[in-house]
Amino acid sequence: MESHPKIRSFAPITGKNSRILILGSMPGVASLEAGQYYAHPRNVFWRIMAELLNMPENLSYPQKTQHLCSTGIALWDVLHTCVRPGSLDSAISDEVPNDFAAFFKTHPHISALFFNGQKARRAFKKHVAPSLDINTLPLYTLPSTSPANASWSFERKLESWQSIMNYL
């Protein structure tokens, strides 16, 4: 059996007054190679953010992340490390979560969590929720922006993702 190395997620992208936290599971191969969240050209995360936040799509990655922070959005992944050959969430194993206790202590203004896909929600409920007192924090699972979620049209994803605007 072929052994795969552990991969590591990125640091959170957040501002001092972030109000919502969008959580993925773990960056895919294209994102890890680029060192950027949602770097796969067919992942529609940044296109959705551009639509919702009136953000020009042609911004550089630092400009996009700055725009998110200025609108109160924080971005992170549930998992700190895992093993995953390729980019499919279904291939994830050996999951180790990020330190959410420390995150929430330093980001007290977070008022809702949004999961980018089912895997992020399941990993959070399994590894993070049992050890945190977050019963008052609304949790929303949104359709994955990944190209692997091809059964959802862009328009349908965008309509679901509009729910983040209620917290901004």
Residue 30 lies in a domain: yes
Which whole number is the average pLDDT over 46-60? Answer: 95
Percent of the chain with pLDDT strictly greater than 90: 82
Which residues lie below 8 Å from residue 140, measured CB to CB, with a gap of 6+?
Answer: 112, 113, 114, 115, 163, 164
Tell me the per-residue pLDDT of 6-49, one tens digit each, with 9 for 90 and over: 999 999 999 988 999 999 999 999 999 999 999 999 999 999 99
Hey, how many other C-beta atoms are within 10 angstroms of the C-beta on 128?
20
Residue 86 lies in a domain: yes
**pTM to 2 decimal places:** 0.94
Which whole number is the average pLDDT over 118-125? Answer: 95
* Residue 91: CATH number of its domain: 3.40.470.10
H-assigned helices in the chain: 29-34, 45-53, 61-70, 100-106, 118-127, 154-161
Entry field: residues in the chain: 168
Residue 121 lies in a domain: yes
Q: Which residues carry out catalysis?
A: 43
Residue 38 lies in a domain: yes
Q: For the chain, how many structural domains are there in total? A: 1
Query: In which domain, by residue range, is 147 found?
Result: 6-167
Q: Is the pLDDT of residue 1 over 70?
A: no
Residue 70 lies in a domain: yes
Mean pLDDT of the chain: 93
Residue 143 lies in a domain: yes
pLDDT at 95: 92
Under the banding of pLDDT at 50, 70 and 90, the label for residue 106 is very high
At 12, is the secondary structure helix, strand, or coil?
coil
Residue 1 lies in a domain: no
pLDDT at 2: 58
Q: Is the pLDDT of residue 3 over 70?
A: yes
Question: Strands 139-142 and 79-83: what pairing?
Answer: unpaired
Residue 50 lies in a domain: yes
